[in-house]
Structure 1
Amino acid sequence: MFTTRYRTPIEPRNFNRSFADRTSKAGIRRIRLHDTRHTCGSLLAALDVHPRIAMQILRHSKIAVTMEIYTHVPSEATRKALRRLGKHLGKQDRK
């Protein structure tokens, strides 16, 4: 749950609007907020995070939901690219 500065729950439409505004300002492709859950699941799989841990992070009650809907298992080429990306992003932090 996300809250306002007054610690009241954020209305879902307002949160979605804020997410869309931030992606626009960042200059990245607009996606649905819900799609970030799929991205998270796929990244966890690419990082060899145990499926039960991924299930807990994504707050699913059934492992099948995590594995069949939210996780897209990457190929070795994808894993290699993610490692390269991680190294590159790590260099950006040091500048």
Structure 2
Amino acid sequence: MSSPIIFSNEFGKPYRPDSISQWWDRFMKRNPDLPRIRFHDLRHTSATLLIHAGEHPKVIQSRLGHSNITTTMNTYGHLLQETDQRASSHFDKLFDEKD
């Protein structure tokens, strides 16, 4: 199975992988007020936002391209626990309202 094309030009042809890194470096230099992050860090940000939005881990696994859910869970599992604790607090509020 071939790798999916993540970035393509208007004709559907893939960009060279290093051109994306170069674009990101130029973008970061033009925006010095932004925190310095690597392009790859956007991947982690995306996963984290999906977890906090309550997205199912299998969907996140698929979007990240992990072949095994274990990889996703080992990398982001601590965030899922945090989200679970937040979800539990909703029940606390419900029970407190009934008192």
Q: Name the TM-score, length of structure 2 as normaliser.
A: 0.61
Greater relative contact order, per chain length (Cα 8 Å cut-off, separation 6+): 1
Q: 2:20 aligns with which of 12, 15, 19?
A: 15
Ranges of 4+ aligned residues in structure 1 off by more than 6 Å: none
1:31 matches 2:41? no
User: What are structure 2's unaligned runs of at least 5 residues?
Assistant: 1-5, 87-99
Q: Percent identity?
A: 31
State the Cα distance separating 1:46 from its structure 2 match: 0.7
User: What are structure 1's unaligned runs of at least 5 residues?
Assistant: 80-95
Q: Name the TM-score, length of structure 1 as normaliser.
A: 0.64
Considering only aligned residues, what root-mean-square deviation do their CA atoms show, in Å? 2.4
The residue matched to 1:73 in structure 2 has which SS? helix
> Residue in 1 aligned with 2:74?
68
Moved more, 55-64 or 6-15: 6-15
May I ask how many residue pairs the two structures share in their alignment? Answer: 77
